[in-house]
């Protein structure tokens, strides 16, 4: 498997999924819905006005627990807020299944494996979607 291409997509989104200790099915549903409906693709005038759904975009979904790195103390990141592999694997599989159920082409990496992921970024756009945000007031 080493050196083999596991997955690749055309025009679409690279979706890095980090699962936290407190995450559950509702978090998976939120992230999937928000991701496919965010208007991050340009319209004819170049404005962000089209979603992955409207564009029929491909999705490359990769598990990335290191997004939970806590670097507030010391020089070594802590990953204590990341879900343990059993929990993270189940939620990651749920996310992938939900994306697939929408009808977009979905490819994945291999859960809990070292992978070299290449990205050709069409523009300077990286968006963070955090399911915990749905519980916070926009006015705060």
Q: pLDDT tens across 57-106, in order?
A: 999 999 999 899 999 999 999 999 999 999 999 999 999 999 999 999 99
Residue 92 annotated to the active site:
no
Q: Are 133 and 26 in contact (CB under 8 A)?
A: no
pLDDT for 123 beyond 80: no
As a whole-number percent, the residues of the chain with pLDDT over 70 amount to 98
pLDDT for 1 beyond 60: no
pLDDT for 140 beyond 70: no
Element (H, E) at 52: helix 52-55
Sign of CA dihedral 78, 81, 82, 85: positive
As a whole-number percent, the residues of the chain with pLDDT over 90 amount to 71
The closest of 5, 12, 8, 10 to 99, measured between CA atoms, is 12
For residues 21-34, give the mean pLDDT.
Answer: 96
Residue 65 annotated to the active site:
yes
Question: For position 116, what pLDDT does the model report?
Answer: 84
Distance CA(23)–CA(27), nearest Å, equals: 6
The closest of 98, 131, 121, 119 to 31, measured between CA atoms, is 131
Distance CA(55)–CA(71), nearest Å, equals: 37
| Pair of tokens at residue 18 | 């980090």
Sign of CA dihedral 18, 23, 29, 31: negative
pTM score above 0.85: yes
Residue 126 annotated to the active site:
no
Radius of gyration (Cα) for the chain, nearest Å? 16
Question: For position 134, what pLDDT does the model report?
Answer: 84
74 CB contacts (<8 Å, ≥6 apart)?
none
For residues 2-23, give the mean pLDDT.
Answer: 90
Q: Which of the residues 35, 41, 64, 99 is marked catalytic?
A: 64
Q: Which of the residues 65, 92, 99, 108 is marked catalytic?
A: 65
The closest of 135, 122, 133, 137 to 50, measured between CA atoms, is 122
For the chain, domains (ranges, CATH) are 12-129 (3.50.80.10)
């Amino acid at each position: 498997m080493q050196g083999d291409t596991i997955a690749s997509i055309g025009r679409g989104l690279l979706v890095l999924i980090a699962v936290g200790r407190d995450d559950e099915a509702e978090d998976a549903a939120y992230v999937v819905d928000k991701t496919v409906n965010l208007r991050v693709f340009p319209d004819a005038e170049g404005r962000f006005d089209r979603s992955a759904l409207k564009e029929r975009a491909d999705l490359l979904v990769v598990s990335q627990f290191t997004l939970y790195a806590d670097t507030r103390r010391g020089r070594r990141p802590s990953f204590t807020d990341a879900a343990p592999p059993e929990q993270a694997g189940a939620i990651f599989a749920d996310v992938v299944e939900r994306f697939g159920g929408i009808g977009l082409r979905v490819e994945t990496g291999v859960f809990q494996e070292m992978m070299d992921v290449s990205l050709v970024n069409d523009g300077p756009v990286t968006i963070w979607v955090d399911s915990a945000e749905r519980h916070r007031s926009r006015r705060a």
